[in-house]
Amino acid sequence: MIKFYSPASIGNVGVGFDVLGAAIAPIDGSFLGDIVTISPSKTFQLINKGMFSNQLPIKTNNNIVWKCWKYFCSLLKKNLPITIILEKNLPIGSGLGSSACSVVASITAMNAHFENPIKKTELLLLMGKLEGKISGSIHYDNVAPCFLGGLQLIINKNNIICQKLPIFKNWLWIIAWPGIKIATSEARTMLPMQYSKEICIEHSRYLAGFVHALYTKQPSLASQLMNDVIAEPYRIKLLPNFLKIREETKKIGAIGCGISGSGPTIFVISDNLNTAKKIKTWLNKNYLQTKKGFIHICKIDTLGTRQIG
């Protein structure tokens, strides 16, 4: 038996639409992500469990884990009977890379179980392709950090998928999922097909400046440059009171606030634990909409997908 854990991730990280992604880990040591367990079997079996397993498709062949197994079998050109247990700990349509989490955990666990027939770089390409089947297009801003950990800049050129960026270790990321669902495909339809030259220049300036601030260790400059001019202006209508939340958390002491992926999860950044706790308390009262919603104070997960147990 072999067991792998894949962490949740923040796609876009605000300033980097489709080209930045960060893996996250709650500071209390809990798992915020999916766990996949694989054991030998005479026939293929898929068992779903976990807090959000009721959101998964009823039919096995509609489950992304089954699709991962089927594709893995086709690559190795043989039937591979195994039992897979998926512990679904991330809500679907949350903006935390839920589908990427399941894909990465499943593919990594299968590859390890069968003694690593696929190389690490090829695995990432495979994961991107499979995750793209869910969201409608191939992108790596959730898959790459989920698999490799850290804050990743997506390159996707000449077989170089991504590069790990420096991080500010004292930054705390308060993650708030209100308990509602937004499909990535739906959120993408809200974006314009074309952007003005001015917006493109502004986006380039913010993204380049943010990366520069990371490498030159300027946290104040980095936080000032975390402006999303590509997706946020169009998606905030999907999020309840987002602009008010940004304003109020800033009053408490937040240094940044943005939409995680396509939403509805938001992230708020603090460089002080006491401030982070105050922000968490405020969000708990003002952003959660259902009892299933949750808030975690997180740090960047530098490990990515790993074997546990």
The token pair that represents 114 in the structure block: 């069968």
33 is in an annotated binding site: no
Q: Which residue range forms the structural domain that includes residue 277?
A: 172-297
| Confidence label for 66 from pLDDT (cuts 50, 70 and 90) | very high
- Who wins on pLDDT, 138 or 33? 33
Strand partners, 40: 82
The token pair that represents 260 in the structure block: 């995680």
Q: Is the pLDDT of residue 136 over 70?
A: no
Q: Could you report the per-residue pLDDT of 82-98, keeping only the tens digit for each?
A: 999 999 999 998 999 99
98 is in an annotated binding site: yes
Supply the CATH number for residue 85's domain.
3.30.230.10
185 is in an annotated binding site: no
Q: Are residues 187 and 288 in the same domain?
A: yes
Q: Are residues 233 and 153 in the same domain?
A: no
Run of H or E residues at 40: strand 33-40
* Exposure class string for 7-45: b at 16+ Cβ within 10 A, else e: bbbbbbbbbbbebbbbbbbbeeeebbbbbbbbeeeeebe
Q: Are residues 41 and 154 in the same domain?
A: yes
Supply the CATH number for residue 219's domain.
3.30.70.890
Q: Are residues 81 and 98 in the same domain?
A: yes
Q: Could you report the per-residue pLDDT of 37-47, keeping only the tens digit for each?
A: 999 999 999 99
| Confidence label for 130 from pLDDT (cuts 50, 70 and 90) | confident
Q: What is the mean pLDDT of the chain?
A: 94
Q: Is the peptide bond before 117 cis (omega within 30 degrees of 0)?
A: no
Q: How many residues does the structure list for the chain?
A: 309
Q: What is the pTM of this model?
A: 0.94
257 is in an annotated binding site: no
Q: Are residues 59 and 157 in the same domain?
A: yes
Q: Are residues 99 and 153 in the same domain?
A: yes
Tell me which residue of 153, 277, 270 sits closest to 223, measured CA to CA: 270
Q: Are residues 11 and 146 in the same domain?
A: yes
Mean pLDDT of 274-293: 95
Mean pLDDT of 236-246: 88
29 is in an annotated binding site: no
96 is in an annotated binding site: yes
Q: Are residues 202 and 143 in the same domain?
A: no
Strand partners, 22: 10, 151
97 is in an annotated binding site: yes
53 is in an annotated binding site: no
309 is in an annotated binding site: no
Q: Is the pLDDT of residue 238 over 90?
A: no
92 is in an annotated binding site: yes
